[in-house]
Amino acid sequence: MIDQKMKTAVLEGFEKTFGKQEGTKAYFAPGRVNLIGEHTDYNGGHVFPCALTIGTYGAVHKRTDRQLRFYSMNFDKLPVKNTSLEELVPSEDAGWTNYPKGVIWAFEKRGFKLPCGFDMVIYGNIPNGSGLSSSASLEVLTGFILRDLYGFDVTNQDLALIGQYSENNFNGMNCGIMDQFAVAMGKEDNAIFLDTADLSFEYAPIQLEGAKIVIANTNKKHKLTDSQYNARRSACEEALAEMQKEVKIRGLGDLSVEEFEAHKNAIKDPDRRQKAKHAVYENQRTIEAVAALKAGDIKHFGQLMNASHVSLRDDYDVTGVELDTLAEEAWKIPGVIGSRMTGGGFGGCTVSIVEDGAIDAFKKQVGEAYKEKIGYDCTFYTVEIGGGPAVI
């Protein structure tokens, strides 16, 4: 569902910034929310995200020289960034343009050389730093645009992998594949049940009768590169290496709960053992949750969402008082089917499934309790599941 106002605005923004140019095209790539399966995607486990109808809009025109010009209407105090295909190196000064530059760099690494540069204006309606994947959205948008402009032979799944590669190797964030995959492969009204061990996946229709997906934003600014995300990933890798001395596995996601319990003492450090426990249990919880959803048991799905938050809070230690307050207040409200943090954690958002009749009470009670405890407001969005990237 394309927001026509956003489309018009980004095209007007292009004209204002770079002048009227015949053949300027507009594009869209969504943001994402993960329903369950957190911090499993770099452990060869399962995830269950969906693309959103909010995302990043782009207006682009090809150039005849090797220059690149970028402008973001979200950072309208920043001037146009002028760079070129000869300058594909990350820099602090490049700010947000490190994302599109990283994707160009990753295409070139794969042998897809750009014959010329382009001018680009972007305008997004994903709240910045909310953990709803504004960066993956921008990466996939850029890849989609490159394919369209230069005719590169890549699939949407490749766009996800290239986006992840650029984020890992150009932007220094060691993320898994979930975000870029959800953005590139999104399908309206469906979540994606993805096995990150081999990228096999299936779409699962989300038909919430009498309920909606509500996102609550902590409004706490977080930056995953600065956070402990990379440290968590390293802890899991060390735990895996220790486990592999006893059992033949590719990733922690290969272990059942019973296998983990039988061999967990192979992981020497108790703190690391606890982190690995989350990865194993969360993966099994995700498989169980999707089975519950398919069986029409939304109540059980919600209970597993709650259990996921508890595990992220107590075992994986990636929540913090802001996310805990949002989830714990939500659990008190009748009509809240499930509520948990979503994304990397340490800030960002919770995702909740709330019965229609309880949405007002949810916003009021959670909002007031949050303000009282944290000292500033949280923000709510009722969201819909949208499709993948598109020319609009």
Which is catalytic among the residues 179, 254, 315, 324?
Answer: 179
Spatial separation of the C-alpha atoms in residues 135 and 123, rounded to whole Å: 13
Place of tokens 């870029």: 180
360 is catalytic: no
Furthest-apart CA pair in the chain: how many Å? 66
Give the chain's end-to-end CA distance (angstroms, integer).
10
Q: Of 35-43, 105-113, 184-192, 355-363, which part binds ligand GLA (CB under 6 A)? A: 35-43
Considering the complex, state which of residue 176 and residue 253 has its C-beta at the smaller distance from ligand GLA: 176
Spatial separation of the C-alpha atoms in residues 47 and 287, rounded to whole Å: 9
Could you say which DSSP state residue 315 is in? T
Binding characters for ligand GLA, 304-343, by CB under 6 A (x = yes): ---------------------------------------x
Instruction: Please tell me whether residue 41 binds ligand GLA under the rule CB under 6 A.
Output: yes
Instruction: Please tell me whether residue 175 binds ligand GLA under the rule CB under 6 A.
Output: yes
In the region spanning residues 215 to 234, those forming contacts with ligand GLA, defined by CB under 6 A, are none
Alpha-carbon dihedral sign for residues 191, 296, 316, 364: positive
Torsions phi, psi for 328 (to 5 deg):
-65, -35
- Looking at the DSSP bridge assignments, the partners of residue 211 are 355
Does residue 216 sit in helix, strand or coil? Answer: strand
If phi over 0 gives left and psi between -120 and 50 gives alpha, with beta otherwise, what is residue 2? beta
**Beta carbon of residue 237, minimum distance to ligand GLA (angstroms, whole number):** 13
Q: Is the CB of residue 359 less than 8 Å from the CB of residue 214?
A: yes
Number of chain positions touching ligand GLA (CB under 6 A): 10
The candidate with the shortest Cα–Cα distance to 124, out of 94, 99, 93, 103, is 99
**Beta carbon of residue 93, minimum distance to ligand GLA (angstroms, whole number):** 24
Could you say which DSSP state residue 317 is in? -
Q: Of 37-45, 59-67, 186-194, 213-221, which part binds ligand GLA (CB under 6 A)? A: 37-45
Instruction: Please tell me whether residue 39 binds ligand GLA under the rule CB under 6 A.
Output: yes
Out of 38, 139, 315, 322, the residue judged to bind ligand GLA by CB under 6 A: 38
Considering the complex, state which of residue 53 and residue 130 has its C-beta at the smaller distance from ligand GLA: 130
Q: Of 63-71, 173-181, 199-207, 326-334, which part binds ligand GLA (CB under 6 A)? A: 173-181
Chain positions contacting ligand GLA, by CB under 6 A: 38-39, 41-42, 175-176, 178-179, 343-344
Residues recognised as catalytic: 179
